[in-house]
Chains A and B, each alone.
Chain A
Amino acid sequence: MITSGVGIVAAQRTSFNQPLALQGGSVLPAFDLVYETYGTLNAARSNAILVCHALSGHHHVAGCTADNPANIGWWDNIVGPGRPLDTERFFIVGVNNLGGCHGSTGPASPNPATGKPWGADFPVVTVEDWVASQARLADHLGIDAWAAVMGGSLGGMQALQWTLSFPDRIRHALVIAAAPKLSAENIAFNDVARQAILTDPDFHGGHFYEHGVRPVTGLRLARMLGHITYLSDDQMAEKFGRRLRVGAGSYGFDVEFEIESYLRYQGDKFAGVFDANTYLRMTKALDYFDPAQDFDDDLARALARARAKFLVIAFTTDWRFTPARSREIVHALVHNGQAVAYAEIDSAHGHDSFLMDEPHYHAVVDTYLKRVQL
């Protein structure tokens, strides 16, 4: 029984038949986007908030589905009546990104040229491409300008990119647990994850669909590695420590430590449902994101065209995108005299903190959004 939040929700699908020129040079002739909405778009169409998802997210941000009350949205704790993304006031849109594996056009979708799944032939899409496709969705929904675009991690990068691609179509950007670009270390982690998938014999160069297999071994390893980087050392110590699942070590290689059990469970769960080609593309989108690249690596110059106001949030124990990375964004905005508030939240949960129901963090988002004029 759902007693709060947005209750039962249903996904919608829209087809876009105008070609989309992608940053990588190819053109997608047509595409579908799957999305969910919560709340009501007001008459002035001025109360819409776009929630962008991160690596493994999707359009099901909040509520539960009619067929499965346990299928709760990935950011349910922040969306609903009286919650920071207050559905009494705002019209919230969650979308599955292009190249995803939850309904929007992606590598598992049929390639119109062959009738077979795109597989490896699905283009690599970038954060810029996602924002361009999300703008088509905004057109479709009749939203000239978002009251806010928000996201954590890779989602935060999309919020940032919105301010640059469409400065007049976003009034507030909430950039959470993000970075203005990946570090070499970040890319290194992503590449190990990709290598796990690419070298899985069941990957078949990305055309595994027609072989009736999935590269679950590689995907599982990729997720296990990724998951380590989402947590903090302290949190792992507290949650698992060196505890064993059984009384004593067996001097073998079965699951012994609790942390092993946890990671394997997370890996299995993810590999069971996620698409390997999507995972490869999501990590590439992260790697390529670098808005300052065309401005001699001068982030302030790159952000100068943004007209949105910013709320930037980082978490103390996030070592994947440390607070220092968020401060790069903040200081570029300050340099330009642009509007920005920055909160650094004490949280034990590492990079994943942005998904947690931490009262002070939610209060910051709530307080900021209450000031957003509709």
Chain B
Amino acid sequence: MSATAGQAVQLRADFDLIASWVQPGERVLDLGCGDGSLLKRLIEERGARGYGVELEGAEVLAAIANGINVIQGNLEQGLAGFDDQTFNHVVLSRTLQTVRHTERILSEMLRVGREAVVSFPNFAFWQNRLAVMGGRMPVSEDLPYEWFDTPNLRFFTLLDFESLCAKMNLVIRERQVLDEAGRLVTEEPNFLGSLAVYRLGR
């Protein structure tokens, strides 16, 4: 299986989980929404009312082509302008590792939304550990970049993230962990899981 195809399978698994958490008519804000694929699905399949935030012009254009309510903006500047508790879910899918102001974006998500949905690649996934043991930075389905061209700024694990949640008094309502094929991982998630998806509240 090619890397792209593998990622696509897992991306669907990621989206499957998020879609299952959204109820009809709920308002969703997708941060770093890209071309709006997730929102399109949530709107079409779940009857959600969605908005997306995206920085890249080409992605904004693609989202407009998808009929998405996309707002061009930079997450690093927070969510100024979005009113408190406007959304049922605020989604940050595979993006937290690229954000510099980690704590601020998490706080902002739970300011504008009742629930934050966060997914990120697990740096402690066994294949990543193996790569580092072998002396090289990992390149994988979920960390598909070389060290010199990666947009990722933060490298962290399930345990790291949960420790930050505890420090910030964020409540973990649910956690699902996926392997590289998009299958749910129940045993040893910080070792066997390559992608984690969390539902957070206050």
B63 near A341: Cβ-Cβ < 8 Å: yes
- The number of A-B residue pairs with CB atoms under 8 Å apart is 56
B69 near A341: Cβ-Cβ < 8 Å: yes
- Contact A364-B61, Cβ < 8 Å, known A340-B69, A371-B67: yes
Q: Which residues of B contact A368 (CB under 8 A)?
A: 64
Kindly state whether residue A330 has any CB partner on chain B within 8 Å. yes
In the assembled complex, the Cα of A338 lies from the Cα of B6 at a distance in Å of 37
In the assembled complex, the Cα of A97 lies from the Cα of B71 at a distance in Å of 31
Kindly state whether residue A327 has any CB partner on chain B within 8 Å. yes
Kindly state whether residue B73 has any CB partner on chain A within 8 Å. yes
Which of B57, B71, B81, B86 has the most chain A CB atoms inside 10 A of its CB? Answer: B71
- Contact A360-B63, Cβ < 8 Å, known A330-B71, A341-B71, A342-B71: no
Q: Which residues of A contact B82 (CB under 8 A)?
A: 331, 334
Q: A308 CB to closest chain B CB, in angstroms?
A: 13
Q: Which residues of B contact A10 (CB under 8 A)?
A: none
Q: A26 CB to closest chain B CB, in angstroms?
A: 39
Interface residues on B, range: 20 to 34
Closest to A333 in B: B69
Q: Which residues of B contact A339 (CB under 8 A)?
A: 69
In the assembled complex, the Cα of A80 lies from the Cα of B70 at a distance in Å of 27
Closest to A334 in B: B51
Q: Which residues of A contact B49 (CB under 8 A)?
A: 337
Q: Which residues of A contact B57 (CB under 8 A)?
A: 343, 345-346, 360
Name B71-85 residues within 8 Å CB distance of A. Answer: 71-73, 81-83
Q: Which of B27, B60, B73, B86 is close to A364, meaning CB atoms less than 8 Å apart?
A: B60
Q: A176 CB to closest chain B CB, in angstroms?
A: 14
Kindly state whether residue A363 has any CB partner on chain B within 8 Å. yes
Name A324-374 residues within 8 Å CB distance of B. Answer: 327-328, 330-331, 334-335, 337, 339-346, 360, 363-364, 367-368, 370-371
Kindly state whether residue B196 has any CB partner on chain A within 8 Å. no
A364 near B64: Cβ-Cβ < 8 Å: yes
In the assembled complex, the Cα of A344 lies from the Cα of B61 at a distance in Å of 11
4 nearest CB pairs, A to B: A331-B81, A342-B71, A344-B72, A367-B64
Given contact pairs A311-B64, A342-B71, a sample of 5 additional A-B residue pairs in the complex whose CB atoms are under 8 Å apart: A331-B82, A335-B86, A339-B69, A341-B69, A342-B70
Complex A-B: 7 CB contacts under 8 Å: A327-B81, A334-B71, A342-B71, A342-B72, A344-B73, A364-B61, A371-B64
